């Protein structure tokens, strides 16, 4: 079951760069992909329903606090995104609108899209440890080292892409409209956003490892007393 959950997470992560390029893939395709990713989110939460029922149980360590905050923010994103999308739909649900609110919902939809992209990437990094451990079983030390260097280089390029794509400005609502160069290569656009995704995922992955290691040491110290 954990591999099913991981597959759904990866599918959602791969769809996100496509959704970010709505002008390059067409608004109709954008709306269809939006419905697909929402369905994947629902499936993900159904499979992880025990997590929701355990929110008020047990001790909250730093790692658990981070997981909880990220998951709750993603839940808010997955409510705001489809609702605002419905209100500005031009294809699937174009008849569902509230007069005079198009500008507001467009701003909410765009801003939450960028936050959702970053949160989903971070969430993927927090939970990708299972996949990483699985790979380690089948790779020799040289291949592991090569992959590590490759992902570090991709993350480094991700810093450039994050800045050049003004993702921070969109998140902070400094830019109210998404600007796309329709002559731009779609491949370059997706490469940039995948690089940003790798960057944020690596931050989540290494942050998790550092915190878990620290918590384990604290637990061992407490047990030795």
The per-residue pLDDT for range 95-133, each reduced to its tens digit, is 667 777 778 888 899 999 999 999 999 998 998 887 777
Residue 93 pLDDT grade (very low, low, confident, very high; cuts 50, 70, 90): confident
> Residue 166: its pLDDT value, please?
92
Residue 92 pLDDT grade (very low, low, confident, very high; cuts 50, 70, 90): confident
- Three-state SS string over the chain comes to CHHHHHHHHHHHHHHHHHHHCHHHHCHHHHHHHHHHHHHHHHHHHHHCHHHHHCCCCCCCCHHHHHHHHHHHHHHHHHHHHHHHHHHCCCCCCCCCCCCCCHHHHHHHHHHHHHHHHHHHHHHHHHHCHHHHHHHHHHCCHHHHHHHHHHHHHHHHHHHHHHHHCCHHHHHCCCCCCCCCCCCCCHHHHHHHHHHHHHHHHHHHHHHHHHHHHHHHHHHHHHHHC
> Residue 207: its pLDDT value, please?
95
Mean pLDDT of the chain: 87
pLDDT > 70? residue 154: yes
> Residue 116: its pLDDT value, please?
92
Q: pTM score, two decimals?
A: 0.89
pLDDT > 80? residue 163: yes
> Residue 152: its pLDDT value, please?
94
> Residue 7: its pLDDT value, please?
83
> Residue 157: its pLDDT value, please?
97
pLDDT in tens, 26-57: 888 988 999 999 999 999 889 989 999 999 99
> Residue 221: its pLDDT value, please?
77
């Amino acid at each position: 079951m954990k591999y099913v959950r991981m597959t759904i997470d990866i599918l959602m992560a791969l769809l996100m760069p496509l959704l970010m390029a709505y002008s390059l893939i067409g608004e109709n395709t954008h709306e269809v992909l939006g419905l697909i990713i929402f369905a994947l989110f629902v499936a993900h939460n159904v499979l992880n329903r025990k997590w929701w029922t355990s929110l008020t149980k047990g001790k909250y360590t730093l790692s658990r606090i981070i997981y909880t905050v990220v998951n709750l923010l993603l839940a808010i994103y997955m409510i705001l995104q489809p609702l605002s999308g419905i209100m500005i739909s031009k294809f699937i649900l174009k008849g569902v609108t509230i007069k005079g609110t198009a500008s507001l919902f467009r701003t909410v939809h765009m801003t939450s899209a960028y936050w959702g992209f970053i949160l989903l990437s971070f969430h993927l990094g927090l939970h990708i440890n299972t996949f990483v451990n699985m790979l380690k079983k089948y790779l020799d030390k040289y291949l592991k080292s090569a992959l590590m260097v490759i992902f570090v280089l991709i993350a480094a390029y991700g810093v450039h892409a994050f800045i050049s794509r003004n993702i921070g400005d969109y998140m902070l609502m400094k830019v109210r409209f998404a600007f796309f160069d329709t002559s731009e290569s779609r491949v370059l656009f997706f490469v940039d956003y995948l690089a940003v995704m790798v960057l944020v995922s690596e931050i989540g992955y290494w942050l998790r490892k550092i915190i878990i290691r620290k918590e384990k040491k604290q637990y061992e110290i407490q047990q030795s007393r």
